[in-house]
Amino acid sequence: MTKLSVNINKIATLRNARGGNMPNVVQVARDIQNFGAHGITIHPRPDERHIRYQDAFDLKPVIHTEYNIEGNPIDEFLDMVLEIKPTQVTLVPDAVDALTSNAGWDTVKHKDYLVDIISECRKNGIRTSIFVDPSSTMIEGAANTGTDRIELYTEEFAHQFSLGNEKAIEPYTQCAVLANDLGLGINAGHDLSLENIRFFKENIPHLLEVSIGHALVCEAIYRGLEPVVKAYLKKLA
C-alpha cells in the first residue's frame, strides 16, 4: 500500500487567522494518525505564516507514525531538523516569499549543496527526499546526491488531469521507473486530491508515499476529516 502522509499546514493557517490555539495542530495530528494515516507532514517557512518552528518541536512527541518535515534547508531550518530528527526531511527549493512550492530542485546545478545537506541528515539518522520535477535529468542528478528518495512534484499532472488529459501521467511514470532503477524511493505530492489520487497511484510503479494537505483539508470541510482520511486510504490500498 502507498502510504498517506497528511500535511497539516492548512490547519495551522486556520489557527493563525484568529490567534490562540484553535484548531490545535497537535491534537489534529493525533486525530489524523488515529484515523489511519501513516504519517504527518509539515512545511515550516521562514515567516511562519502557517506552521511555526515551535509547532515542529511540539509535534515530535505525539507523532508515532512517520514525521516528515519539508522545507528549504536554510540554516535555521536545518538546525531545527537536526535537533528534532524526524523520520524524513524533504528538501524543497522554495523561495522565502513563495506562496507555495512551485518547482523542483535543479539537482545538477545544486549537486554539491545537496550532497552536503543530505550527508549531514543521513549521519543523524534522518531519511532524505528531494523535491523534483518529472525530468529524467533531474532524477539522475538526484541519484548522484546520495538522497534516499525523491518526491515527484505533481502540480502539472493534477492540472492536466483536471482538463481530461490522462497522458499527463506519462513523464511521471517514466521517471518513477528510472528512479527505482537507480535505487531511489519514490514519494509524490502537490495538488493530489480524491479526484486524481487513484489514477496517479495506479500509474506510478513503486510509489511509496504521497503527501497531501490542501486538497484534503478542503475536502474535509464538506465531508469531515475522518471520512476524508479514510477515503484516501481506500484509494491508495
Please give the model's pTM, rounded to 2 decimal places: 0.95
Verify whether residue 43 is a known catalytic residue: yes
Verify whether residue 226 is a known catalytic residue: no
Verify whether residue 70 is a known catalytic residue: yes
Cβ atoms of 117 and 148 within 8 Å: the answer is: no
How far apart (Å, rounded) are the C-alpha atoms in residues 2 and 193?
14
Supply the CATH number for residue 17's domain.
3.20.20.70
Measure CA of the first residue to CA of the last residue in the chain; give whole Å. 5
Domain count across the chain: 1
Per the residue annotation, which of 43, 50, 151, 209 is the catalytic one? 43
Residue span of the structural domain in which 31 resides:
3-236
Per the residue annotation, which of 38, 66, 151, 190 is the catalytic one? 190
What string of pLDDT tens digits covers the 237 residues of the chain? Answer: 999 999 999 999 999 999 999 999 999 999 999 999 999 999 999 999 999 999 999 999 999 999 999 999 999 999 999 999 999 999 999 765 555 556 899 999 999 999 999 999 999 999 999 999 999 999 999 999 999 999 999 999 999 999 999 999 999 999 999 999 999 999 999 999 999 999 999 999 999 999 999 999 999 999 999 999 999 999 999
